[in-house]
Each structure stands twice: as C-alpha cells, then as structure tokens.
Amino acid sequence: MSKSFESVQEVRDGLKKVNYLADSGIAGVVYLAQRLGKPILVEGPAGTGKTQLAKSVAEMLGARLIRLQCYEGLDESKALYEWNYKKQLLRIQADKSSDSWSEVHDDIFSDEFLLTRPLLEAISSVDPVVLLIDEVDRVEIETEALLLEILSEYQVSIPELGTITAKQIPMVFLTSNNTRELSEALKRRCLFLHIDYPDMDREKEIVLTKVEGITENLADQIARIVRSIRQLDLKKAPSVSETLDWARTLILLGIDHIDAQEAKDTLHILLKYQTDIAKAAKELSVDK
C-alpha cells in the first residue's frame, strides 16, 4: 500500500472519519495486517460490519476496492482469469490465411485477449488496492486451495503468459459467516478477527453516526430494545444493519419515543422469522 499506518490509534481515528466505529481490537488487527502484509480473516454473525470494514479501510486509504463475492460453484474462470474465446476465434478467422500457426498462437494468447477477474486484477494493479473476498465459507475446498495459493505468494501462473507477480501487496479481507469450517492452512495464512454484535453503548454510537436526524434519546431506546431482543432464543438475532433500518423506519414514521405497541408494530424490520417476532412481541408486552 502507498500509505503505512503508524499506530493503532491512527487506524481507529481514520476509520471513525469514514463513519466506521472500530474498537481497539479491530483497529489493532487492521494495523498489524497492513504492516505485516498478511490477509485478515473476519468471522462473525451476518450483518455485524465485516464487509463494511473492508470498504471503510479502502475509503480511508483512498485505495480501490476489488470485491470477489464467493458462492457455491465459484471456479478459477470467475475468480482468477479466463480467455476471451469469442475474440480469439475472430482473430483466428481473420488470420486464417497466415502460414504460421505459432504466430497466430502467440497473438491470441496475449494480454489483449485475457479477461482478468478479481484476484488477478488485484495482483496486477499498480495502484493501491483493498481486496475483499466476501463469504469465503461458501466456496468448495478446491477453490479455497486456489485462494490459499494466490495469497501465499501473491502471484499467478498463466501457462500461456508466464508468472504474474504482484506489483504491490494488496490489503486482503476474507469474510466468513461460519457456514462451514475453513481449512487450517487458510487460517494459518491470515490474521484472525471476530466481529460480534456490539455492546449497547457502541451500538447507540453507531446509530447516532449512521442515521441522520436521530436524537440521542431515540438512539438510546433503540440500542436498549435491540439488546434485550438479542438475549432471546431466536432463529436469527437482529444484525446491526437491521438495527439501522429500524432506526430509519422510526424516523420516517415520526416516532421520537418508542412505546411497546410501536415497537411490536415495527418488529418485522428487525426480525425475519414469525416465531422470532412472536417471541419478541411477548417480551415487549412483559416489559410493558
């Protein structure tokens, strides 16, 4: 990267300037990852700010964010590179009068016909890059092995072109929702960071930072209610992003003080299973 962090506090302050409220643990891992040139494996419940951390670090550094969204069936052609076969075929047809196949071969297997995908794009970039490999736990073991190979050496071997080595080491974030266990080899390569639901005071601060026009009193009520709901036995606890959606909903409805009925009427913003909504509604009725 073009800019090196000088301290953990610098990282924390920089993230705050781009509206990401990091505690000292998060800021410390980001600082060490950049100084050591190591990827960060970020685990934790969905909606706790794992993806946003990578986006915020890129914004803070003024770096380009390159994102590889992982999914079942992701392969090398979508993650690394593939050849533009249609363009190659057109060139072969245009050069069919040529007597030398080697000349045609060297021509069609050149940079002009290479389609770069996120991993190769991040490695070959001359400008500072933050590479986000999102939801890495969704890919198969074979694709995980490919990621490990790339992140170990920061280089890619393309048989027709040779080895492409990184011009600069990107900051790399891998996020996981723990839908499957990742390999020990991948974990050893990375620094580990677990982002859990924030405590009440930090969630209140996040709401105040992210939701325009909200009062401190309403933000405090929201953080307290969400904390009490998360303590229930739910299929899916409300994420931070859903807390923010709920706060914006209350602002739109003109609610500046939440009573039990208003909370129950808007629970569908926070919770996405009817059984969870019923449990939370019952809890709110008891609290009342």
Of 27, 80, 32, 85, nearest in space to 56 by CA: 27
Residue 37, classed as helix, strand or coil, is: coil
pLDDT for position 288: 47
pLDDT for position 99: 56
pLDDT for position 106: 60
Per residue in 43-67, is it b (16+ CB within 10 Å) or e — as a string?
A: bbbbbbbbbbbbbbbbbbbebebbb
pLDDT for position 130: 96
Radius of gyration of the chain (CA): 24
State the Cα–Cα distance between residues 275 and 270, nearest whole angstrom: 13
pLDDT for position 141: 85
State the Cα–Cα distance between residues 196 and 239, nearest whole angstrom: 10
| Region at 236 (left for phi over 0; alpha for psi -120 to 50; beta for the rest) | beta
State the Cα–Cα distance between residues 272 and 46, nearest whole angstrom: 13
Residue 112 DSSP class:
G
Task: Give the pair of three-digit tokens for residue 250.
Answer: 């209350």
pLDDT for position 138: 92
Name 181's bridge partners. Answer: none
Task: Scan for tokens 């706060």, then name that residue.
Answer: 247
Contacts of 90 (CB under 8 A, 6+ apart): none
Name 216's bridge partners. Answer: none
pLDDT means over runs of 10, the chain (288 residues): 82 95 94 94 92 96 95 89 81 65 63 86 92 94 86 84 85 92 91 94 95 95 95 94 96 92 93 95 75
Residue 70, number of CB atoms within 10 A of its CB: 22
